[in-house]
């Protein structure tokens, strides 16, 4: 009988994890964020970030559409996806960076995401002048004791795919490509 009880407990634990994962995936959808349409998701994602400490985004196409900056506050401890990397894609009208972590953020992890700055479709080339270059960045990570891994940061309009300011952080398995423009092609669209 003990073997049956152990097996039952194991199956219950697996079911609990699977149900929790499904609930986690639906959490930002409850705020109106959906990765399979072309409706901007920034407001919904910012509301989801403000209300939850563990964020699980869903993979989808075209991905979550970002039309203004996503701000990740000090409450977020995990920002990831399950079942493949979730895509976050800049809307052509975005005039700011895509992600900005609060300077007081600490003990967080960001993983399993594709952050696409969509540079060839962006409309505001003035974001890339020397004064405003940070506005064309994909991610500005700040804080203390954080980890960023298995993230693709691609097609930043200008500036950088990933800017980091902080202490005691780990960054690994980050794919950074096609960010900004070379000096001879600057702002050509």
Tell me the per-residue pLDDT of 60-88, one tens digit each, with 9 for 90 and over: 999 999 999 999 999 999 999 988 999 99
Whole-model pTM over 0.75: yes
In 33-181, where does DSSP find H-type helix?
42-51
Task: Report pLDDT digits (tens) over 84-136.
Answer: 999 999 999 998 889 999 999 999 999 999 999 999 898 876 667 666 666 78
183 within domain boundaries: no
What is the domain count for the chain? 1
- Asked if the structure places residue 33 within a domain, the reply is yes
Query: What is the CATH number for 76?
Result: 2.160.20.10
Residue 185 domain-assigned (yes or no):
no
Assigned domain for 18 exists: yes
Please give the pLDDT value at position 157: 87
User: Is residue 115 domain-resident?
Assistant: yes
Among left, alpha and beta (phi > 0; psi -120 to 50; other), residue 74 is: alpha
Q: Does 59 reside within a domain?
A: yes
Q: Domain for residue 127, yes or no?
A: yes
Expressed as residue numbers, the domain containing 62 is 2-177
List pLDDT tens digits, range 124-182.
766 676 666 667 889 999 999 999 999 999 999 887 899 999 999 999 999 999 987 76
Among candidate residues 120, 112, 115, the one with its CA nearest the CA of residue 24: 112
């Amino acid at each position: 009988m003990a073997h049956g009880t152990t097996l039952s407990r194991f199956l219950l634990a697996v079911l609990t994890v699977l149900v929790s994962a499904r609930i986690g995936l639906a959490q930002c959808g409850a705020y109106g964020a959906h990765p399979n349409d072309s409706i901007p998701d920034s407001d919904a994602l910012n509301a989801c970030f403000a209300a939850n400490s563990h964020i699980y985004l869903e993979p989808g196409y075209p991905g979550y559409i970002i039309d203004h900056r996503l701000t990740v506050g000090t409450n977020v401890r995990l920002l990831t996806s399950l079942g493949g990397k979730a895509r976050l894609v800049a809307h052509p009208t975005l005039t700011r960076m895509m992600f900005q972590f609060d300077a007081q953020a600490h003990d967080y992890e960001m993983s399993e995401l594709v952050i696409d700055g969509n540079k060839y479709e962006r409309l505001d080339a003035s974001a890339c002048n020397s004064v405003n270059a940070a506005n064309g960045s994909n991610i500005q990570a700040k804080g203390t004791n954080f980890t960023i891994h298995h993230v693709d940061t691609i097609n930043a309009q200008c500036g950088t795919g990933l800017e980091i300011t902080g202490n005691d952080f780990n960054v690994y398995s980050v794919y950074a490509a096609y960010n900004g423009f070379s000096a001879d092609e600057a702002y050509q669209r």
